[in-house]
């Protein structure tokens, strides 16, 4: 492309950073970058006479007056296969629901959340290795989707401006919506199956963390669990739901179905550590019922 478009970029780390860096490498460096905490300088944007606005995890819906400014509209890089998982937490939702694939969709933004017509879409398998899907955490998947989104955006910008793309309306009847993740979402309900809880460990890593409470010196303390292995097809008839028991050099917790062998956790006020290291100094957790 001989004449590079004038771009204004709206985004929030960490998802937007790789997208922005890829734009810069392709010589599509934005004239103005606006983060979620910034005030939107409407008059300054007007003065730039932008060809294109680009959104990557901005967290706000842009007003009609702003959307009307760019010559080629506003492109939104969204980390899901729209219309599935509109809203603020599409990456977490894909992990929580046990999806085997997700992807990136670039839409032409309108006044509704993740509602506009699709310009391009690309799938991505949710896995960190070819043999294991379960190891993919939120941060790992976010990084993969951001890198894919950046590469995909560069090609889409060129094709869109050169008239090579015809927008495709979303099937709004198939739209699903995600909610904003809160700290309370991380509290573990041990009556749920181990498979569901293990997904929460990955979806809420690093924030808010999937957590529970135990008694240390007659005080209630938080434990955040970051990595665990599902123990299937074993029966522990004498255990209560949420009860801690020793297994090998580590410890596990009984759930509503199967159990979770804890591999990495973070005690309140301390750093992350292996389960075995924690158990050496906190053996009184064995037999306790977490809540």
Shared domain for 196 and 277, answered yes or no, is yes
Asked whether residue 290 is assigned to any structural domain, the reply reads no
Q: What's CA 101's distance to the chain center, in Å?
A: 13
Q: Which residues constitute the domain of residue 220?
A: 183-285
Residues 15 and 148 placed together within one structural domain of the fold: yes
69 and 192 assigned to the same domain = no
Residue 39 included in any domain: yes
Residue 291 lies in a domain: no
| 162 and 270 in a common domain | no
263 in any annotated domain: yes
Q: What tokens were used for 33?
A: 């970058």
Q: Are residues 66 and 102 in the same domain?
A: yes
pLDDT at 131: 41
At 2, the pLDDT band (50, 70, 90 cuts) reads low
Task: Tell me the per-residue pLDDT of 29-78, one tens digit each, with 9 for 90 and over.
Answer: 999 999 988 889 999 999 999 999 999 999 888 999 999 999 999 999 99
- Summarize pLDDT for 139-194 with one digit per residue, the tens: 999 999 999 999 999 999 999 999 999 999 999 999 999 999 999 999 999 999 99
Q: Residue 45 maps to which CATH number? A: 3.40.50.170
- In angstroms, the Cα distances linking 49 to 31, 43, 44, 109 are 10, 10, 9, 18
- Residue at a domain's end among 157, 174, 191: 174
pLDDT at 126: 84
Residues 66-91: pLDDT tens digits?
A: 999 999 999 999 999 999 999 999 99
Q: Are residues 255 and 170 part of one domain?
A: no
Q: What is the mean pLDDT of the chain?
A: 93
195 with 165, same domain? no
Q: What is the pLDDT of residues 88-143, one digit of tens each?
A: 999 999 999 999 999 999 999 998 999 999 999 999 988 655 444 457 899 999 99
Sheet holding 52-56, edge to edge: 32-35, 7-11, 52-56, 74-78, 101-108, 118-125
Q: Is residue 1 part of a domain?
A: no
In angstroms, how far is the first alpha carbon of the chain from the final one?
A: 59
Q: Which of 155, 174, 193 is the last residue of a domain?
A: 174
Please report, to the nearest 10 degrees, the dihedral formed by the alpha carbons of residues 220, 249, 192, 213 taken in order: 10
Structure tokens at 191: 């009556």
Residue 218's Cβ-count burial label (10 Å; 0-12, 13-18, 19+) is exposed
Question: CATH number for the domain including 223?
Answer: 3.10.25.10
Could you report the per-residue pLDDT of 201-233, keeping only the tens digit for each? 999 999 999 999 999 999 999 999 999 999 986
**pLDDT the model gives residue 13:** 83
In a domain, 70, yes or no: yes
**Residue 102 and residue 81 in contact, taking contact as beta carbons nearer than 8 Å:** yes
**Is the same domain home to 231 and 133?**
no
Residue 121: inside a domain, yes or no? yes
Query: Phi and psi for 140 in degrees, rounded to 5?
Result: -65, -45
What does 200-264 look like in DSSP terms, one character per residue? Answer: HHHHTTTTT-EEEEEEETTEEEEEEEEEEEEE-S---TTPPTTBEEEETTEEEEE-SBSEEEEEE
- The whole-model pTM stands at 0.93
Kindly report, residue by residue over 234-257, the tens digit of the pLDDT.
Answer: 666 689 999 999 998 999 999 999
Statement to judge: residues 12 and 138 lie in one domain: yes
In a domain, 143, yes or no: yes
In this structure, are 84 and 64 located in the same domain? yes
Domain count, the chain: 2
State whether 113 and 250 are in the same domain. no
In terms of domains, do 26 and 140 share one? Answer: yes
Q: What share of the chain in percent tops pLDDT 70?
A: 95
The domain boundary, picked from 121, 149, 174, lies at: 174
What pLDDT is recorded for position 31? 96
């Amino acid at each position: 492309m001989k004449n590079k478009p004038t771009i204004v970029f709206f985004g929030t780390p960490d998802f937007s950073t790789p997208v922005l860096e890829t734009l810069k490498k392709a010589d599509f460096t934005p004239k103005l970058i606006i983060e979620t905490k910034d005030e939107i300088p409407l008059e300054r944007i007007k003065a730039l006479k932008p060809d294109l606005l680009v959104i990557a995890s901005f967290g706000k819906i842009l007003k009609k007056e702003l959307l009307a400014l760019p010559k080629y509209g506003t492109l939104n890089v969204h980390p899901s296969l729209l219309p599935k998982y509109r809203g603020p937490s599409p990456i977490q939702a894909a992990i929580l629901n046990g999806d085997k694939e997700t992807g990136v969709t670039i839409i032409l933004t309108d006044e509704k959340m993740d509602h506009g017509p699709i310009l391009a879409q690309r799938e991505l398998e949710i896995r960190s290795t070819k043999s294991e899907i379960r190891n993919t955490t939120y941060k790992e998947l976010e990084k993969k989707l951001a890198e894919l989104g950046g590469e995909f955006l560069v090609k889409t910008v060129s094709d869109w401006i050169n008239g090579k793309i015809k927008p495709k309306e979303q099937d709004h009847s198939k739209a699903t919506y995600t909610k904003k993740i809160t700290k309370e979402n991380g509290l573990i309900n041990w009556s749920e199956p181990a498979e569901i809880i293990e997904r929460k460990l990955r979806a809420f890593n690093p924030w808010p963390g999937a957590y529970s409470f135990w008694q240390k010196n007659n005080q209630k303390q938080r434990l955040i669990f970051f990595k665990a292995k599902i123990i299937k097809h074993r029966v522990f008839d004498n255990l209560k739901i949420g009860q801690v028991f020793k297994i090998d050099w580590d410890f596990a917790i009984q759930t509503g179905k199967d159990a979770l062998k804890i591999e990495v956790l973070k005690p309140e006020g301390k750093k992350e550590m292996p389960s075995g290291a924690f158990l050496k100094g906190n053996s009184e957790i064995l037999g306790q019922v977490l809540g």
